[in-house]
Structure formats: structure tokens, C-alpha cells
Amino acid sequence: MAMIETINLSKKYGEFVALDNLNLAINQGDCFGFIGPNGAGKTTTIKILATLLKPSSGQAMIDGLTVGYQNRQIRPIIGYVPDFMGAYTDMVVVEYLEFFAACYGIHGPARKKVVKEVLDLTDLHYKATAEVNSLSRGMQQRLSVARVLLHDPKVLLMDEPASGLDPRARVEMRELLKELKRMGKTIIISSHILPELAEMCNVVGIIERGQLLFAGSVSEAVKRAKMGQVVQVAVTARWQAAAELLAKVPGVAKVEITESGSAGASGTAATGPVINGVALPLIHVTFEHGGKFELTDIPNVLINSGFRVAQFSEEAVNLETAFMRLTKGLVA
């Protein structure tokens, strides 16, 4: 049985559909990366799972318990980390954690012990006596994680935990999440930092306009987005003529030219080589999906026609590429 499951989960505000028949199944120990543009329905989903919102229709279940009907049993097994710190910033760190430990019913020596453990786990022990409002954004986010770990939940629901963090704080947050994954926690994390999600998560879901477009492994997402093999070519001169020539090669489905630094076929920035201080355009050659072709045909055709090849490489397809190809940039 899945640790987290949604069946035709929907949320409407009048005529506005924030979530449209979402069907998800996340197994115990999975780290699930939730990807989508702003307004896609990620936060709505996480808030429903956190028992903070009621769904309009459909079902959401955590560890076999139904959201909306068994909330009191669900709350002790989940930890919710919003994208902002919240209240109680006038406390010092250890007081903040002891307050929430008391709310979870942890008292006496056990409370002191669990507060010390989460401070050590999140590397905040040296800030135990610092005021919460004096902490950096990154440390406040780590404190939010420490707070939800006090009662040792099975499931962590994390809404943009790396939002607004500097590069060092993002690295520290990433390492903390990896440790939580090693501890066997089931994690849902929404983020716009796609390379980090690809590194941390074993499963991802892509949502747009309230509808789930894809759910599966990162490699499956990349495979789905790979519409055909793409190579990048740069020639030292007459690139328009080179593109026209390549378009006639058997098995080539499409040829595009992008100026250096603009968006290429993958939706990411295209950077061509620099010759004598001039950035050369890149020619993106897409082969027919499943067709029979030889990659070496491309440079051979160009060289035999008098072109000088400055770059020839296969275009990488990653999670960011998959996201750009599987979504249309729509919001609900």
C-alpha cells in the first residue's frame, strides 16, 4: 500500500479549479519532487495532505488514513514545512523547539533529549541560545525542519524549502534532505530548483494548471521528453547555408538555429563556441524518433561541402529539459 495516495483529488474555489482530479501514489521511503509553474496546484496539494485544506472532491490518504475524516490520527505522523518561518520569532531557538515539543506531548527528560537530537541533526546546536528572528533565512528554514522532526513523523511535506536561500544554504538544505531520506522518511518536496530535485528525488511529478502531466522516475521523465535525438553543431561561417544543407540529410526531422545565449531546442540557454571573440550560433539538428541514422553523417556532410565544424555534440536531456517540453507554461 502506498504511504501517500490521492484519488481524483480536486479543489475548487467557485468556478476556479485549483486542482483537477489528481491521482498520485507515493511509496514509503520515496522522495517525491513536485514540479510545476507558479499557480499549478503544488501548494494546494501539500496543504490538503497537511490537513489544512478540505478537498472539494476525491480522496487523499496518508498511511491508509483518510484526510478530512481521520485528521487527528494523521497529524502525529506528518511534518509540514511551509515556505516561510511563521510566528514565535521572539523566542530563542531552544525555547522555540521546546514549545513545539510540549505541543506534541513530549515532556521532561524526553523533551530535552529530542530537542538536542534535532539540533544536532540540523546542525543548529551552536545557535541554541540565539533569537529566532536573528537567524538567516537558511537557518530559519533548517529550524522549521527541526521543528517538524521533534515527533519523528513518517511523512514530510515540504513546500519550497529552498525558496530564497543563498547557494550555500541550498547546499546545506539539500544535504539535510538527503539525510532524512536515508532515515527512511517519505518526503514530498516542491521546488523550482530542478537540478537539485533530480539529485535528491527518486520520483518526480509534473503538474500544470491543476492537472498531473507526469509521475515517475527522473529517467522516465527524460525518456518521455526525448522526442528524438538532438545534436548541436556550430560552423565558423555561413551557418544559414549549413542549416539548409543539414535539413536535407536523411532522418533529420527539424533544424533550428539559435543565437548564443538564447533558448535552444531544449528550452535551455544555448551557448556556442567563441572564435576570435565572436560567439557562433548553434544549429540544433533533431533526428526522427526511432529512425535509423548515423551521427557521423552530420560532420561528414558539412566537411565534404566545405564547412569548418567548430562544435559537434549530442544535446543533453535532463529534468529541466523534460519540464520545459512536457509543460506549456500555463497556470490555473
- Which domains are assigned to the chain? 4-223 (3.40.50.300), 227-316 (3.30.70.1340)
The reported pLDDT for the residue numbered 106 is 93
Residues with Cβ within 8 Å of 207's Cβ and at least 6 positions away in sequence, in order, are: 22, 34, 35, 36, 40, 41, 42, 45, 213
Q: Do the beta carbons of residue 146 and residue 174 sit within 8 Å?
A: no
Q: How far apart are CA 240 and CA 256, in angstroms?
A: 10
Nearest to 143 by CA among 85, 186, 197: 85
**Sign of the dihedral through C-alpha 152, 155, 160, 162:** positive
The reported pLDDT for the residue numbered 127 is 92
Q: Do the beta carbons of residue 37 and residue 330 sit within 8 Å?
A: yes
Q: How far apart are CA 319 and CA 222, in angstroms?
A: 6
Q: Which amino acid is present at 184?
A: G
Question: How far from 209 is each of 16, 44, 324, CA to CA, in Å?
Answer: 11, 12, 15
Q: Using CB atoms within 10 A of its CB, is residue 77 exposed (0-12), middle (13-18) or buried (19+)?
A: middle
Q: How far apart are CA 243 and CA 230, in angstroms?
A: 14
Residues with Cβ within 8 Å of 71's Cβ and at least 6 positions away in sequence, in order, are: 51
Q: What are the pLDDT digits (tens) for 244-255?
A: 888 888 878 888
Q: How far apart are CA 230 and CA 287, in angstroms?
A: 6
The reported pLDDT for the residue numbered 263 is 45
The reported pLDDT for the residue numbered 267 is 44
Query: Which stretches of the chain score pLDDT less than 70?
Result: 1, 87, 224-228, 259-271, 276-277, 289-293, 316-318, 321-326, 328-332
The reported pLDDT for the residue numbered 311 is 84
The reported pLDDT for the residue numbered 67 is 95
Question: How far from 172 is each of 7, 162, 177, 179, CA to CA, in Å?
Answer: 35, 10, 9, 11
The reported pLDDT for the residue numbered 232 is 85
Q: Do the beta carbons of residue 157 and residue 74 sit within 8 Å?
A: no
Q: Using CB atoms within 10 A of its CB, is residue 64 exposed (0-12), middle (13-18) or buried (19+)?
A: exposed
φ, ψ of residue 136 in degrees (nearest 5): -70, 165
Q: Using CB atoms within 10 A of its CB, is residue 310 exposed (0-12), middle (13-18) or buried (19+)?
A: middle
